[in-house]
Homo-oligomer: A and B are copies of this chain.
Amino acid sequence: MNEHIAPALPDWQVSRWFNTEGPLRLADLRGRVVLIHAFQMLCPGCVAHGLPQAARVHQRFGGEGVAVVGLHCVFEHHEAMGPQALQAFIHEYRLRFPIGVDGPSPDGPVPRTMAQWRLQGTPSTLLLDRQGRLRLHHFGALDELHLGVAIGRLLAQPPADRSDVNASTADVAACADGACTIGR
């Protein structure tokens, strides 16, 4: 009876990958803490804050059990942020972590994953526990100390142990303001 535990976040729908050898699924990352950074290459807050922060987490904690993935969620200026432009951007900004292009939607400008996950905009940061459940969801610049504490809490949970998740779920919402939410 774990009715307070959210199910795993549904998978992204990515049309193209960079910095990977092949398509990546969320399920492939089970057992690791996952940081997803949703961005647009022409979004000033992403370039100034979000992407450098994701790169720092990747560089320092990538070997400690944290997987960092970028998701290019283009919902405006589509003509200026196609895959070719993104490739140049990734090259110029020396981004090393896997980056997926959120699949275009037939229904409007907002791409598929962004719509399904109900992201408010870019930059958005999502943090998943080792079981793939959403534990932190923040829109805007995310305080570095808060992000660190949230990552630390999730890293402390043993990969296969589901017994103590309930107890600490509430703790993870250690986030700066109302923009932080715990996974449903």
Q: List residues of A whose CB falls within 8 A of some B CB.
A: 42-44, 47-48, 56-57, 60-61, 64, 76-77, 79-81, 84-85, 87-89, 91-93, 143-158, 164, 167-168, 171, 174, 176
Contacts and interface: CB of A to CB of B under 8 A. Distances in A.
Q: Is the interface of A mostly helix, strand, loop or mixed?
A: helix
Q: Give the 3 A-B CB pairs with smallest separation, nearest first.
A: A148-B148, A152-B152, A156-B156
A148 B88 CA distance: 33
Contact of A148 (B42, B48, B152): B152
Nearest to A83: B80
A92 B64 contact: no
Nearest to A149: B152
A44 B152 contact: no
Contacts of A57: 145
A93 B44 contact: yes
A174 B47 contact: no
A87 B44 CA distance: 14
A104 B44 CA distance: 27
